[in-house]
Structure 1
C-alpha cells in the first residue's frame, strides 16, 4: 500500500475541491507550507530547482518513516523493511538490531555509488559505498551526458600533499581514486552543474554550454560490467541568462507524447523539439533555455 505524504494529500485535495473538470491550480498552500518548513525558500529570491528536488525527496522519506513508526506504535502493520546501503539509522534499540524502512522513494530513486581507492604501492583497493538520489555532473562546452558520466568516473591520482593513508602499508602512499556507479537506480536523476562560482568575477555564473542528452542512454561498466539502458521521460529547463533570476519550465513524456509545461500553459510538442534545450554552442547566444535536471527511467524493469 502506498502511503501518501502530507504534500501529496494537500495537492490531491486541492484538485478534488475544484468544480471545473479542466483548468489549473495555483499551489499557494503548498508554497506556504514549503516556506514554513524550510527557511531556504522563504525569500522572494530566485530558488534553485535542484535544491527543491533534494529537499522534497528527503522530506518525503522523513514523513513516510514517521508515519510508519506511528503505525507501529498504534499496533498497525507496515510494509516490511529491507536493509539499505547506508545501514540502520538507529543500529541498536532496546538491544535489538533494527533495519531502516525502504520507502517507494528509495525503491525508485536510490542508487549506490562506490568510491574506490587503489594504493599504488601494495595494490590494495579500498571501497566505500554511498547512496544517492541524483547525480550532479560537471559540464563542458559541446559535450554530452555520456562524456560527463565518463569524466565523473575518471581516475584521479592522489600524490604530493593529497597522498592516501593506506591501512596495509600503514603510511601515506600515492594512490588512484575513482567514483563509479555500483547499483543504478530505477529512476536516474541527472543534475547538470550549470551554475558555477567564478573566482575572477566573485560571483556565480550560468554556464549555457551545449550538453547533448539523448532520448536513450546507456550506462556501461556499472554493475559487473553490465550495461544499463535508460529512456528520457522528463526535463526541467532553466530559462534565463543568470543564476539569480529566471524561470523554470518542464518537458514531460506521457503516453508516448512530449508535453511542454510552462505554469498554466501546457502544449504538445514534437519529440525533436527536446534537442532545442541542449544549450548554446557559443558562449554568447540569445537562447537562454537550457536543460538543467534530467529524469531517465530504466528500461531493464520494463523488459522484465
Structure 2
C-alpha cells in the first residue's frame, strides 16, 4: 500500500492521521482496470499530478479534451472530502472511448499501450495550444508593427521637412512565448520524449 495507508486484521483500510493524501479507488466500467491502474500510477507520480492540476488552474481554453478530463479527475480526487472509498471516472472513460475506437469496447486492453496513448495525446494537446498561442501572439505583434510603421511614416525633421522612418519589424523585443521551442512541453520534460511501442518477431527478429 502507499505511504500513509495500512490495514487492520480484518483487511479494512486505515489512513494515518498525519497523511494528507486521498486514497480513492476507481470504479471499473467493463474491463477498464488497465486504465484505472495507469491513472492511479500517474496520480501518485507527484510531479505529473502537480503539472496536470496546474494546467487545470491556468487553462484558458474551455474546449474539453482528454487532458482536461484527466485534470478534472485528479481535482476530484485531491479536493474530495473522502480520503478513502471509490470514485467513478465516467467523464474520462467516455472521452477516451469517444476519441479512440481501440478503447471503445468492454474488452481488456494493454496498460502500456494506454499509457502511450494518454501521454502522447496530452503532449499533442499542449503542443497545439502552444502553437495557437504563438500564432495569436505573432498576429498581434505584426498588427502592432503595421500601426507603428504608419504612425512613424513621414515624421518631420528639424527643418520642418518630412522624412521616411524605417521600423525594424523583426526586432528583438519579442515576448518569451514567441521564442519558446514548440516541441518542448512538460510531458517531454517528465517522460523524456514520446513513448512508442515496437513489436519484434521471435523467429527473424524483424521489428
Tell me, yes or no, whether TM beats 0.5.
no
Q: Which has the higher helix share?
A: 2
Higher RCO (C-alpha 8 Å, min separation 6) = 2
Which TM class, normalised by the smaller chain length? 0.3 to 0.5
Q: Report the TM-score when normalising by structure 2.
A: 0.40
Q: Which has the higher strand share?
A: 1
Q: Report the TM-score when normalising by structure 1.
A: 0.29
